[in-house]
Structure 1
């Protein structure tokens, strides 16, 4: 079984921080879509917990942590209240929210990969679930908000690629039997920095070679 990245207490705290920030992004999208407070809460919960819930169901870690830890469920609701009353101020610190979102991306792609491997999945499947843990909530959020998921849009800065890199680094470390808190932290940091660089320099994935399309670009 791979080692824990942090102590259980620290890991739980970081999970809650990541959940809170992801929930903020979900609630903000709900505000932009003119949803009511219930819609805000739904998008916050889905964004924050969707990826981890999917991972836990796939690996058989049931009931999922989202349903056994009250803090996991209540944190998105608290984020919803923050956005409900303070959304103009939250919008003004959107850049800071993106930074924390990137940190959550790095942490969750690593913790998702290690947890999947600990439950007996092979390295490829573990890395895939690490990616799903990091980006799954955002995909569900966009689908519920009737938008093309950011994960699939060419005109959005790289999001999945940093998570793929982080999860792959963890899988390689497991394969070489060098996974440790240090190497796990390095993988999380790599995903975090790549996401920040993608936002700073607007890195995007390439589209089809010699693409010929009559579809208008939005």
Structure 2
């Protein structure tokens, strides 16, 4: 991958880390946690999925251990986020969902790409993309004593699956890596935004009639 593209990916990854961390800050604020609790929820949301992925695929080093900049981003987001969340005049409601959808799309492709680079099959790479995108939020919700959003009717993990399939499928067809990345991210992003815009959801499983 060209150096410029790698640089854009890296800074976009840090942006996605900050967005996911801020969602953890908001949950911690809703539960009236102390400063340490805010940092913990911010951290698990932002890097929990990538950590699990790296452990499963046997990476030589978990990504944030080799690059502590991710930890500094999380810490800064946790501190600044507590101030921003209290501002009486906040950003338009759609800004955070858009940023979250972008981060989800990016994390999905990054997770799948890293898995493929470690010799996994395409199916495993898709799973690793999903884990990278949603596992941190699942840990956050469990710590907050809530049913994880991805286990309910919300179209979130499904968007990751679509993006992962598009990405790995494009590579399998011999398409350039950059095009495969664009397809994977676009698929995840569009499905997630469509689900928010038109309130799309999966059918619920119930034993009651």
TM-score class normalised by the smaller sequence:
over 0.9
Residue 9 of structure 1 corresponds to 7
For the residue of structure 1 that corresponds to 2:94, the secondary structure is helix
> Secondary structure of the residue that 1:213 maps to in structure 2?
coil
Alpha-carbon deviations, 1:82-128, whole Å to 9, x = none?
22222133993342111100001111111111110110001110110
Shift of 1:6: 6.4
Does the 8 A contact of 2:105 with 2:184 survive in 1?
A: yes
Deviations 1:30-72 (A, max 9, x none): 0001111100000000000011111111111132111111211
Alignment match, 1:158 = 155
Per the alignment, residue 32 of structure 2 pairs with 34
SS of residue paired to 2:182: helix
Match of 1:72 in 2: 70
Name the counterpart of 2:42.
44
Q: How does 1:134-145 map to 2 (within 5 A)?
A: 134-145=133-144
The within-5 A match list for 1:19-168 is 19-89=17-87, 92-93=90-91, 94-154=93-153, 157-168=154-165
| Kept after mapping to 2: 8 A contact 1:5/1:111 | no
The 3 A distance-change label for structure 1 pair 173 and 97 is same
Structure 2 unmatched runs, 5+: none
TM-score, normalising length from structure 2? 0.93
1:183 counterpart residue number: 180
Question: In structure 2, the residue corresponding to 1:204 is in which secondary structure?
Answer: coil
Summarize the Cα distance change of 1:91–1:69 in structure 2 as closer, same or farther, 3 Å threshold.
Answer: farther
Report if the CA contact (8 A) 2:166-2:187 is conserved: no
Relative to the length of structure 1, the TM-score reads 0.89
- Work out the CA distance in 2 between the residues paired with 1:164 and 1:90: 37
1:179 deviates by: 4.1
Q: Secondary structure at the match of 2:208?
A: coil
Matched length: 208
The alpha carbon displacement at 1:171 in A equals 1.5
Q: Does 1:213 align with 2:208?
A: yes
